Structure 1
């Protein structure tokens, strides 16, 4: 799947401009520098998988894209917005960038439909029949149409994670971020969630995944980015996992991490 030539629908992003651009981005937590000059472009329609050992900076890079972490140096633009600009509006960015974490963070006292539509109702003022229509649409996307009236405790872990994905989709994001969303699931439930991501990828959704699922990354991602010690160490398509250029990636793949 190669959708890099797709033109942008966002007036803030001109045709040919990457939807996400890291330019020598650095991020530190106190004295610990986690990102050490990341340069990376993500084009609209691309699926990008970030791989690497724990502590290599993958999740930090992802959180920077959504503004959950503020960069210390370099430049980062997302959906045409400079995240260091004086007039940068974090709320506007988060309307366009959805993120799903390992933990589901669903409200236990709300039904699946209520969880999924909470943000559109509160942020976008969605009302009436439009609420149910939106819930039906995004729950169908994740294969949970029949669970709209259920509560989170009545669902499996895989189903709860799919509800979390539907919740992000309900905001009509331009970009979806997934941070190790299958790491707490058993293999069967992992398969449920990965099939949803594959379906979104086939539909042209721009996505950035932090994952340890190497076979899945090789199959679905347009670009795989191997991070090591806070840097982009190697990047390419799925073939690079079969024929690594660097000993670091060779060791990583060989260890099955």
Structure 2
């Protein structure tokens, strides 16, 4: 295993940050178990504003569990996790407020089939933030334009392809104006063509400066878009670095994982 300290995640274009910079996400010796099975074995990782971080690794390596800890879907047993100024170990943690700042998109779209695209996108802002009808419609137009679906505002989910439904799910999260977006294997149920359209949407968000953490099996995408790639193995951060590290892995485990896929 690579025992070197995990570097603070930085932009491709930005100079190294000073030690006083406050990361948007900070894992420190984070440990998570399901019963007697420890799935996160002391995670250390920092993500700063505007950065894109790709978590890769085999099934069971802990990458999705780590991601789900970030917005409180999973609670951890030891260590520290700070996200967007929230201490996730605090007993008085306000999950409702945390999740307004941290959007998450899953493999399953989870759209309401009886609601239009606009209604799916604006439901949370209206119910949670009290956004008015007119403002909600303008918000829907804005975020649907971001994901390239301005012409689908009145469509129902069943009228959309899988890739389009996933992009609506992304727009739904963007409508809450989050500081951080999480993507958990959002293309794993899509065919290659639809995968491409979703990845292009995420790439546009990255270009716009959205802070993102994503779990993905798309190695070429991770290498080209992510500021940092984090390879997880057996519940630990095994190797981390810029995307080009996938072309020259420093550990046997990452070389075996990457194989000839790039």
Normalised-by-shorter TM-score class: over 0.9
Structure 1: how far apart are the matches of 2:13 and 2:180?
14
Q: Note if 1:110 corresponds to 2:115.
A: yes
Spell out, residue by residue over 1:113-149, the C-alpha distance to the aligned partner (whole angstroms, 9 max, x if none): 0000000000001112101100000000000000000
Q: What is the match of residue 2 of structure 1?
A: 12
- Provide the residue aligned with 2:149 in structure 1: 144
**Shift of residue 4 of structure 1?**
5.3
Give 2:40's match in structure 1, choosing from 35, 40, 46. Answer: 35
Distance in 1 separating the partners of 2:15 and 2:71: 24
Q: Unpaired segments of 5 or more residues in structure 2? A: 1-10
Separation in structure 2 between the aligned mates of residue 73 and residue 101 of structure 1, nearest angstrom = 26
Residue in 2 that maps onto 1:238: 243
Alpha-carbon distance in structure 2 between the residues aligned to 1:228 and 1:2:
25
Equivalent residue in structure 2 for 1:216, among 209, 217, 221: 221
Q: Which of 117, 125, 131 is residue 126 of structure 1 equivalent to? A: 131
For the Cα contact (< 8 Å) 1:5–1:16, is it kept in 2? no
Cα deviation per residue 1:38-89 (whole Å; 9 max; x = unaligned)?
Answer: 0000111100000000000000000000100001100000011110113211
Q: Note if 1:194 corresponds to 2:199.
A: yes
Are 2:159 and 1:154 aligned?
A: yes
Give the whole-Å Cα distance in 2 for the aligned partners of 1:183 and 1:42: 24
Is the contact made by 1:175 and 1:207 (CA closer than 8 Å) also made in structure 2?
A: yes
Using the alignment, how far apart are the partners of 1:143 and 1:90 within structure 2?
Answer: 31
**Structure 2 counterpart of 1:68, from 60, 69, 73:** 73
Q: How far apart are residue 3 of structure 1 and its match?
A: 5.9
SS of 1:218's equivalent? helix
Alignment RMSD (CA, Å): 1.7
Is the contact between residue 47 and residue 208 of structure 1 (CA under 8 Å) also seen in structure 2?
yes
Please give the secondary structure, in 2, of the residue aligned with 1:232. Answer: strand
Determine if contact 1:6/1:45 at 8 Å carries over to the other structure: no
SS of the equivalent of 1:121 reads: helix
Separation in 2, partners of 1:58, 1:255: 22
Among 83, 105, 109, which residue is 1:100 paired with? 105
- Conservation of the 8 A alpha-carbon contact between 1:201 and 1:220: yes
Mapped contact 1:4–1:46 kept (Cα < 8 A): no
Alignment of 1:13-92 (within 5 A): 16-92=21-97
